[in-house]
């Protein structure tokens, strides 16, 4: 760590400033919402690609996606995470892409309790989607998600917004790492 001392500088101030810069540098190495993760299991001979839960423009909803090389070629798993309540049962997720509405039923009977990249507790459910549907979500001009909760309310958010920690940004990167003709996960992306 480099410390620059100015004539008459308070040592406590210099130390705290140095500590702040060091912590900012270490945070840049931490996973962020919407980041894409690639992993490969040599033991199982599988590849996995996932988008960490990224924000949709709402008050408490994140969305991610997952695929491994053993899944059917055009299949992926969409993950929806709420921070305020558990996600409902039958038809608990509605996605509206430019006016075309689709209702999804979860694989999970109960909401899973999970921790996101920020170590916050959320209630998550998983839904089967096709890669072609994910392409429609990314290409859509106005894409909205609505998750029904178990207490009769709902949370909705806009997926079509771009941003550093949004789900859409991660989904675009995710899809670029898949051969859409074969459904194959491409080799690990080069480091930035």
Distance CA 175, CA 69 (A): 14
| 2 belongs to a structural domain | no
Distances (CA, A) of 108 to 47, 105, 175: 24, 9, 25
Q: Does a structural domain hold residue 60?
A: yes
Question: Residue 143's domain spans which residues?
Answer: 36-185
The number of domains in the chain is: 1
Residue 6 within a domain: no
pLDDT in tens, the chain (192 residues): 444 444 554 444 433 333 333 333 334 445 676 788 888 888 888 899 998 888 887 678 999 999 999 999 999 999 999 987 889 888 899 999 999 999 999 988 888 887 766 677 889 999 999 999 999 999 999 999 999 998 889 999 999 988 777 899 999 999 998 988 888 888 765 444
- DSSP-H helix ranges across the chain: 11-27, 131-139, 167-176
Distance CA 94, CA 92 (A): 7
Measured CA to CA in angstroms, residue 99 lies from 46, 94, 105, 125 at distances of 37, 12, 19, 24
Q: Do the Cβ atoms of 103 and 114 come closer than 8 Å? A: no
pTM (2 decimals)? 0.76
Q: Is residue 111 part of a domain?
A: yes
Q: Is 86 a domain residue?
A: yes
Count the neighbouring beta carbons within 10 Å of the beta carbon of residue 190. 5
- Has residue 102 been placed in a domain? yes
Q: What CATH number has the domain bearing residue 152?
A: 2.60.40
Residue 93 lies in a domain: yes
């Amino acid at each position: 760590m480099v410390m620059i001392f100015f004539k008459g500088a308070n040592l406590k101030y210099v130390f705290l400033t140095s500590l702040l810069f060091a912590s900012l540098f270490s945070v840049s190495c931490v996973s962020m919402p919407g980041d894409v993760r690639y992993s490969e299991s040599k033991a199982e001979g599988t590849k996995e690609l996932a988008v960490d839960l990224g924000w949709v423009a709402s008050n408490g909803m994140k969305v991610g996606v997952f695929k491994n090389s053993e899944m059917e070629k055009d299949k992926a798993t969409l993950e929806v995470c709420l921070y305020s309540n558990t996600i409902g049962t039958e038809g608990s997720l509605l996605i509206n892409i430019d006016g075309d509405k689709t209702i999804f039923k979860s694989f999970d009977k109960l909401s899973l309790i999970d921790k996101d990249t920020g170590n916050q507790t959320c209630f998550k459910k998983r839904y089967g989607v096709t890669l072609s549907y994910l392409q429609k979500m990314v290409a859509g001009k106005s894409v909205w998600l609505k998750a029904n909760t178990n207490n009769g309310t709902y949370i909705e958010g806009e997926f079509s917004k771009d941003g550093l920690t949004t789900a859409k940004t991660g989904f675009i990167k995710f899809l670029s790492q898949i051969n859409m003709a074969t459904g194959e996960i491409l080799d690990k992306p080069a480091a930035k």
